[in-house]
Amino acid sequence: VPLSFMQGKLFLLDGKLTAAEARLDWAFRTCHPHAWNNRRQILILLVPCRLRLGRAPRARLLKEYKLDFYTSIVASIQQGDVRNFQEALDEFRWTFARWGVLGVMEKTKLLALRNLAVRIFAAKKK
């Protein structure tokens, strides 16, 4: 599990998101259920990776592992609310930088912009 975690982190920093997601997902699934801190550390990297790939985590999972700072970002992306996304990103910028996921989180802004465009297009169509 530690090797997969480190490989996933390296792939994430190199921008190889699908490889990072595969390694981190395997590490999370095979990590002992009672190793709460280890599972949380894996999720800290896995959530931004999956967000960038367009897959949002469930709110229950974020709450269970006390990753509430991702909740507002996930909601902003899903609603296409770019202003709230930027405010949440600015609020937790140093936290994301410390974990090494700031670059990935900044790139998820494109998903919020895409969802905003989809909502505008759907509103115009009606």
Instruction: Give per-residue pLDDT as tens, 24-33.
Output: 999 999 999 9
What percent of the chain is modeled with pLDDT above 90?
A: 74
pLDDT of residue 49 exceeding 80, the answer is yes
DSSP calls for 11-78 = HHHHT-HHHHHHHHHHHHHHS-TT-HHHHHHHHHHHHHHHHHTT-PPPHHHHHHTT-THHHHHHHHHH
Mean pLDDT of the chain: 92
Cβ–Cβ under 8 Å, residues 56 and 50? yes
Model's pTM, two decimal places? 0.87
pLDDT at 122: 85
Average pLDDT over residues 82-105: 93
